[in-house]
Amino acid sequence: YKSSPDLKAFERRLTEYIACLQPATGRWRMILIVVSVCTATGAWNWLIDPETQKVSFFTSLWNHPFFTISCITLIGLFFAGIHKRVVAPSIIAARCRTVLAEYNMSCDDTGKLILKPRPHVQ
């Protein structure tokens, strides 16, 4: 198939937009990984502490500020929508695939258009 200049411009813009999202997505993924590892490490230290079983829940959290702060940070990140930001390019590509399916097209995860064969009408 020959693609029109409009299709080429759309593909160029889509690939450019998805490529621009990649650096921010990488940073959000690193933030999520670091905070998750801190929370897991803090949780491990909190759980193996023999004092945790002897004192109240809030006192045990007060005794483990690293876990408490990292846990609150992780919850805050999820409320801020980090789970959407780490997968933003794939969300954009999936939404484009949904719209492009109406025109017998699709796109890959980088935004490159995929022209499907036209259905034969008899």
Q: Is 122 among the domain residues?
A: no
Q: pLDDT digits over 28-77, tens only?
A: 999 999 999 999 999 999 999 999 889 999 999 999 999 999 999 999 99
Q: Is residue 36 part of a domain?
A: yes
pTM of the model: 0.76
Residue at 13 is within a domain: yes
- What's 111's DSSP letter? -
Phi first, then psi: give them for residue 112, nearest 5 degrees: -70, 130
Residue 114, φ and ψ in degrees, nearest 5:
-120, 115
Number of structural domains (the chain) is 1
- For residue 121, being part of any structural domain is answered with no
According to DSSP, residue 55 is labeled S
Q: Does residue 91 form part of some domain?
A: yes
pLDDT tens readout for residues 74-99: 999 999 999 999 999 999 999 999 99
**What pLDDT does 116 receive?**
84
Domain housing 100: 5-115
